[in-house]
Structure 1
Amino acid sequence: MIIIGKILPFQITSIAESSDIPYADRESHVKQKKLEQAGKFISSILSDDILFAGVSGSVSYAPEPEDDIDIYLITRNNRLWRVLLKSFIVCRITESKDICLSLAFDHEYAVEYYRSFISGLAAKDSVHVIPFAGLEYYQGLLHSSPEIMATYQKRENSTTEAEPVGQGHGSRLSPIDLMLYVIVSSWLHLKSLYRNKKFDRKNNPGDKFRTVTGLHRFYLKTVKYEELDRKFREGYR
């Protein structure tokens, strides 16, 4: 079994009210408050099209108060862009300024990614992801990855094995979904150009990022993250 981030049930409407959560220091308090925000946002976008929803990035480790809350979504095949559109709209309506939709795949791409491509810092971060919905599905993805199994499996604690994720969860690509991909991905690329120009004007090149899109994937890749990944692969862990 691979031990991943602590599960936060949706029944917990206020983490601060739970006597089981330790608040020994400021970092713990910041993390729990951000997870509470994430839980409220994820609960507002959940649908049958979402197979997995969780929190990645710095919040899954030890966040600072100013850190964004990186949301990670996996959807059914060919439903990625309608889910993303809904998520962006909810984010805008609720003024969830700390929420960052930074990583999203559909099922087809997620299976291929974990089986063939994931490595380096991304593999480590995947084990630290904090799941809010779709835990068993996500465990199956982790167990399908040779890189993750070889590096992070807790063999001494392994009593059960997750079933490998198959190629199900399919649906045809409709004209509407294709149109949403073109419109939403174009908007995201324009938005990234605008924000990167602002970072240039403020002389903050480390905050610049690339927006990567495709029919089955969307993610943001920052200059900072690429540098951290390079150092991680070189052994600065």
Structure 2
Amino acid sequence: MLESSQAIPQEIRKRIRFLVETAAANESTISLNELRSLMPENRFPTDTVLKHFLNADERLSRLLTETKGEITVRGREDLVEARNSQRRLARARIVQADEFLRTLSRLCPWIDLAGISGSTAYAGSKPEDDIDFFLVAKRRRVWISLLLAMVIARLERLRSSNAPMYCFNRIVERSDCERTFRESREPLLAREVLNLVVLRGSQLYGHLLASAPWIESMFPRLFAARLVEAGPTDDEPREKTHFVGTIANAVAFLVLGPYLLLAGMVRNVRLRKSGRDRECFNTLIQPDRYATESLLYNELREEYREVFA
């Protein structure tokens, strides 16, 4: 049954426009199916209904256009064809990331969850993009995990100049991750979580989702699909950490912490000199976590708060 354009609240129109324009700003599109998965559960039961609404709505039809199941802003129809190559590259990079994690997992069996975020997770990879990793480690294993990941990535680059650039922009302890899932109410975090490409630890991922009903309230359709995909949840007792690993982790923290802080400061200076201030990032360095967030990401988080309030 087709839903009357007049029956759709203005906040839904605002959400649709924001999501499409955000994709276009990142040189990508958003499919009808993906857009519908981000709508309230009682809206647009099929892609056809959503497509009809976009074509019938007086304002949105002037701003947005649909081609081959992809939605973009008018005047950027070229992004539809570009999206096909982005998807192919994203699939190839997921394979590369999986191979990288196979090596890392042998050295770091304490990594409970490993996933891909960023443009690869959104199937919008471009040649200049990094592969962004999200890792969850056992207690007192964050920094030794990061050190070994950086070493493996460096060795791959030395062996082949065509190896992708790996970015480990968020590594946290499991307890910290569980607390964030339970307590956060950030719409952008919810979207990132639901788009995460989980390559290791799907059971823990399911456990984390099940502990976060607030994510379900924001994106019920996508939440339900990802929860089913994750399978049985993991809430098994955690293994005790060994003393040697704890010492190695402390040493890695003392070595890497100052280095990454200084490297971040140097990179930000270079970005400002080249007029790319919004690409500068904040570096979070704590014993139980490491994260980087650009100013662009912080701006996007504020926009998500406004649109999905």
The residue number in structure 2 matching 1:90 is 152
Question: What is the CA distance between 1:118 and its match in structure 2?
Answer: 5.1
CA contact (8 A) 1:111 1:165 kept: no
- 1:67-91 CA-to-partner distances (Å, cap 9, x unmatched) read 1110111111111111111001111
2:160 aligns to what?
A: none
> Identity of paired residues, percent?
21
Deviations 1:120-146 (A, max 9, x none): 201110110001111111111121113
Q: Secondary structure at the match of 1:124?
A: helix
> What residue is the counterpart of 1:194 in the other structure?
266
Task: After superposing the two structures, state which structure 1 stretch, 27-36 or 214-223, moved more.
Answer: 27-36
The residue aligned with 2:41 is none
Please say if residues 186 and 305 of structure 2, whose CA atoms lie closer than 8 Å, have aligned partners that are also in contact: no
Scaled by the length of structure 1, the TM-score of the pair is: 0.81
In structure 2, relative to structure 1, the CA distance for the partners of 1:128 and 1:162 (3 Å cut) is: same
Q: Which has the higher contact order (CA 8 A, sep 6+)?
A: 1
* Worse overlay, 63-72 or 77-86: 63-72
Instruction: Establish whether residue 230 from structure 1 lines up as the match of residue 275 from structure 2.
Output: no
Counterparts of 2:273 and 2:241 in 1: how far apart (Å)? 44
1:125 alignment partner in structure 2: 192
- Counterpart CA distance in 2 for 1:204 and 1:156 is 39
Root-mean-square deviation over aligned CA pairs: 2.6
The partner residue of 2:118 within 57, 77, 83 is 57
Q: Deviations over 1:137-162 (max 9, x none)?
A: 11111211132132234487677985
Native 8 Å contact 1:144 1:164 kept in 2: no
Q: Please give the per-residue CA displacement for 1:6-27, whole angstroms capped at 9, x wherever unaligned.
A: xxxxxxxxxxxxxxxxxx9212
Counterpart of 1:16 in structure 2 is none
Question: 2: distance between equivalents of 1:146 and 1:168?
Answer: 23
Residues 111 and 135 in structure 2, CA contact (< 8 A), matched pair in contact too:
yes
- Correspondences of 1:87-166 after superposition (within 5 Å): 87-95=149-157, 96-117=163-184, 119-154=186-221, 162-163=232-233, 165=235
Structure whose alpha-carbon radius of gyration is higher: 2
**How far 1:34 sits from its partner (Å)?**
1.7
> 4+ residue runs of structure 1 moved beyond 6 angstroms?
155-161
Equivalent residues, number: 215
Any idea what SS the aligned residue of 1:34 has? helix
Counterpart selection for 1:179 from 230, 251, 255:
251
**Normalized per residue, which structure has more helix?**
2
Partners of 1:114 and 1:169 in 2: how far apart?
21
Q: Which amino acid aligns with 2:115?
A: G
1:31 to 56, 71, 90: 90
| Distance in 1 (alpha carbons) for counterparts of 2:228 and 2:308 | 32
What is the TM-score when the length of structure 2 is the normalising length?
0.63
Which of 238, 248, 251 is residue 168 of structure 1 equivalent to? 238
Counterpart residue identity of residue 197, structure 1: V
